[in-house]
Structure 1
Amino acid sequence: MTQYTFALDLVNDPELIAEYEKYHSNVSSEIQQSILDAGVTKMQIFRFENRLFMIMEVDDTFTFERKANMDATNPKVQEWEQLMWKYQSAIPGAKENEKWVLMKQIFDLKK
């Protein structure tokens, strides 16, 4: 199992943040299936204020390129991504039009 961690900011507006959370409490089956089809086996999103952290576990079929290609050809995913931009704000240091930024692991406690 491979795990990736990402960060993203939300527009710092309590009403928009509440709407964003509401959308994520009932993500459509089409969006969920597209994530699973890309090889993601587990995905969690956490929020503090307007900062989001996502932990994504993937299987051996997952690649970022494959997921990007699948997303680009899926009208439901494109519709979802357009809608989400209303609430999202690129994190400092993100490239132009980049949403979720891959985080670098700097510590791992193992027993």
Structure 2
Amino acid sequence: MGAYLLLAGAIVAEVTATISLKLSEGFSRTGPSIVVVAGYAAAFVCLGLALKTMPVAVAYAIWAAVGVALVAVIGAVFFKEAMNPTMVLGLALVIGGVVLLELGRSVQ
């Protein structure tokens, strides 16, 4: 359970850093730029700690898929970026792939 909490922390930190990257306007704004560096550093530390007890394929797949989905939703809601049914299907397929990886891990 601890590894999944660390993974959740890594996801939150990475999503925060990615959104701050947009807000930094090419690193021309100091506050968001600091959040970018701190967020990515925290994400990698948390991910590294989670990998002590989790398979790398599962951890990275969850981290990447949830991060992509959250950033896409935040982009659509807060930045009014495009989101259409094809993109939603793509996100669902990515998340479905992660679920299959997790299920495959339990069938040994």
- Normalised TM-score (structure 1): 0.26
Larger fraction in strand: 1
- Normalised TM-score (structure 2): 0.27
Q: Which has the larger radius of gyration?
A: 2
Larger fraction in helix: 2
Structure with the larger RCO, 1 or 2 (CA within 8 Å, 6+ apart): 1
